[in-house]
Amino acid sequence: MVDTAKIKGQLEVMLDEVIVELERIAHYDKTTGDWVAKPDGGEVGEADENVEADVVEEWNERRAIVAQLETRFNNIKRALKKIEGGTFGTCEISGEPIEEDRLAANPAARTCKAHMNDEGQLPL
């Protein structure tokens, strides 16, 4: 039996942590519900090509990090909603219960172990 009260507490801590990380490099668009990477606040106006290439690279990296954090953010929010709705701990692909050790490692997991590699294919 999954202790959802305990997991809810864990998820809330995880959500706070991911929001702190996101707020450092992104801002939340309330209209779309998306996190948008902030442009780098660093030195602007350097015409040096190498600097520009670095800036573009940093920007791409930043967006990749935001995308990862945003997935985590969405998964945590979804897991909290599932607890409210009483569907927590069920694999979104097979409908089977998610293994307890998988939930212990990642309370925001959306699938059982058999389908963990397909989790990325699920709609957001």
Nearest CB to Zn ion, comparing residues 54 and 96? 96
- Residue 87 binds to Zn ion (criterion: CB under 5 A): no
Residue 16 to residue 118: CA distance in whole angstroms:
27
Q: Report strand pairing: 26-29 vs 34-37.
A: antiparallel
Q: Taking contact as CB under 5 A, which single stretch among the options 8-16, 71-79, 82-90, 112-120 is the one that binds Zn ion?
A: 112-120
Q: What token pair was written down for 86?
A: 């009483």
Q: Which helix (H) or strand (E) holds 60?
A: helix 49-85
- Residue 93 binds to Zn ion (criterion: CB under 5 A): yes
Residue 9 to residue 21: CA distance in whole angstroms:
19
- Residue 94 binds to Zn ion (criterion: CB under 5 A): yes
- Residue 112 binds to Zn ion (criterion: CB under 5 A): yes
- Residue 22 binds to Zn ion (criterion: CB under 5 A): no
The residues of the shown chain that bind Zn ion, judged by CB under 5 A, are: 91, 93-94, 112, 115
